[in-house]
Amino acid sequence: MSTPLRLGIAGLGTVGIGVVKIVQQHAAMITARTGREVVITAVSARSRTKNRDADLSGYAWEDDPLALATRGDVDIFVELMGGSDGPALDATRAAIAAGKDVVTANKAMLAIHGQDLAETAEAAGHVIRFEAAVAGGIPVVKVLTEGLAGNRIKRVMGVMNGTCNYILTRMESSGLPYGDVFDEAAQLGYLEADPNLDVGGIDAGHKLALLASVAFGTRVSFDAVELEGIQRISIEDIRQAADMGFKIKLLGVAQMTGRGLEQRMSPCLVPDDSPLGQLQGGTNMVVLEGDSVGQIVLRGAGAGMGPTASAVMSDVMDIARGIRVSTFGQPATTLVAAVSAKANAPAPFYLRMQLLDKPGALAKIATALGDAGISIDRMRQYGHENSSAPVLIVTHKTTRDALDHALAGCATTGVLTGDPVAIRIEAV
């Protein structure tokens, strides 16, 4: 039997304690599966006195994560603090410099510094693994880097922020407006400390950028992700979409096109009978499309103690087994800097507009769309409110550029009484 593999865990929140519990409860199973004992030697967190529902007495305590990261009795620095910069980044850099492997759940740090960190670690013969950073318990990084390694990936899609999916599905089931459900999610503790990370699509955008790198062999380029959050989704849109057989999801899509790499995280309509359309509550789903395998759908908990700790342990146990896959599935120095392309693949769009209820108003909108080359698939006017009439339009396939041009034309007609809502209908 080889020497034990020694973990130093920085961050003892929900996920850190989840890892402690798995290591303690499944020690024999982990050793049987990896051929190596996995032990925790030291831990670090902001507060030593906090009650954590786990026995930490057997582990050395470090107040400073940098001290933990550089201890002689730590082989893997398990970074579960979070934050793109600051202590998490400093300690990760220190761990790599001190010759440690790193396992992290930190999507923000890797989305911004992943290339640099991976190059540094790999140059020194070490690995950084991040299964827990993307879609919680869903082993999507492993599926891409190992299970689908022989495929050219065509498209990666996913609902990867459970909080947003909770808010959108709860709005539909309760009929409550966005603001009320947002407050409910806050009370339930579902929101990140900065809620914009969730509802602004940033957290899910980080995850998409990481997956795109693994899927397409490109350098992580979070700045190139076109981001739109769910803050403007109204209960009216959810109702009208449902009426037409669609659900609204905060959907990430990454695909390599002839023009370059498209990455977008934005609200989309998806058919309500599709796997993505049926996704309820805080659950995540990732859809992968490869040239040989076709479509793979992965569904599971995107956050929480057990699921996220499960993903951390997957990385730890790979290292215990001697499996040392490069951070992004191939050596970091071989990742190419992809040309970023504006997402402009044609798709049908859902449009909701408030029009003045007077003769010719609808005709003016139809003309503005027609002038921009946009063909209408379906259109209906419903429930008059005062002097303005709500109108729903589903277009035939068009590009976002053409749509923006058409909406600018609609704005000049003088018949709109508010900003139109435009949401892409994604073929899934």
* Minimum CB distance to ligand HSE smaller for 76 or for 204: 204
* Minimum CB distance to ligand HSE smaller for 310 or for 395: 310
- The answer to whether 303 contacts ligand HSE (rule: CB under 6 A) is yes
Distance CA 15, CA 352 (A): 42
* Minimum CB distance to ligand HSE smaller for 200 or for 390: 200
241 residue type, one letter: A
Catalytic residue among 142, 207, 247, 249: 207
* Minimum CB distance to ligand HSE smaller for 30 or for 197: 197
For 218, other C-beta atoms within 10 Å of its C-beta total: 23
- The answer to whether 198 contacts ligand HSE (rule: CB under 6 A) is yes
DSSP 141-204: HHIIIIITTTSPEEEEEEE--HHHHHHHHHHHHH---HHHHHHHHHHTT-S-SSTHHHHTSHHH
User: Least separation, in Å, of the C-beta of 169 and ligand HSE?
Assistant: 13
Tokens read off for 298:
């992965």
- The answer to whether 203 contacts ligand HSE (rule: CB under 6 A) is yes
Distance CA 176, CA 398 (A): 32
Enumerate residues 174-193 that contact ligand HSE by CB under 6 A.
192
- Quote the crossing angle between the two packed helices 14-25 and 305-321, to the nearest 10°: 60
User: Least separation, in Å, of the C-beta of 203 and ligand HSE?
Assistant: 5
Question: Which residue number has the CB closest to ligand HSE?
Answer: 163
- The answer to whether 163 contacts ligand HSE (rule: CB under 6 A) is yes
Pick the stretch among 26-34, 43-51, 161-169, 405-413 that binds ligand HSE (CB under 6 A). Answer: 161-169
Nearest to 347 by CA among 425, 407, 405: 425
Q: Is 271 left (phi over 0), alpha (psi -120 to 50) or beta?
A: beta
Whether residue 207 lies in the annotated active site? yes
CB neighbours of 229 closer than 8 A, spacing ≥ 6?
A: 164, 196, 199, 200, 201, 202, 250, 267
Pick the stretch among 91-99, 160-168, 324-332, 400-408 that binds ligand HSE (CB under 6 A). Answer: 160-168
The single residue among 8, 87, 162, 420 that binds ligand HSE, judged by CB under 6 A, is 162
Pick the stretch among 6-14, 159-167, 213-221, 343-351 that binds ligand HSE (CB under 6 A). Answer: 159-167
- Quote the crossing angle between the two packed helices 178-187 and 162-174, to the nearest 10°: 130
Q: Which residues bind ligand HSE (CB under 6 A)?
A: 161-163, 192, 198, 203, 302-303
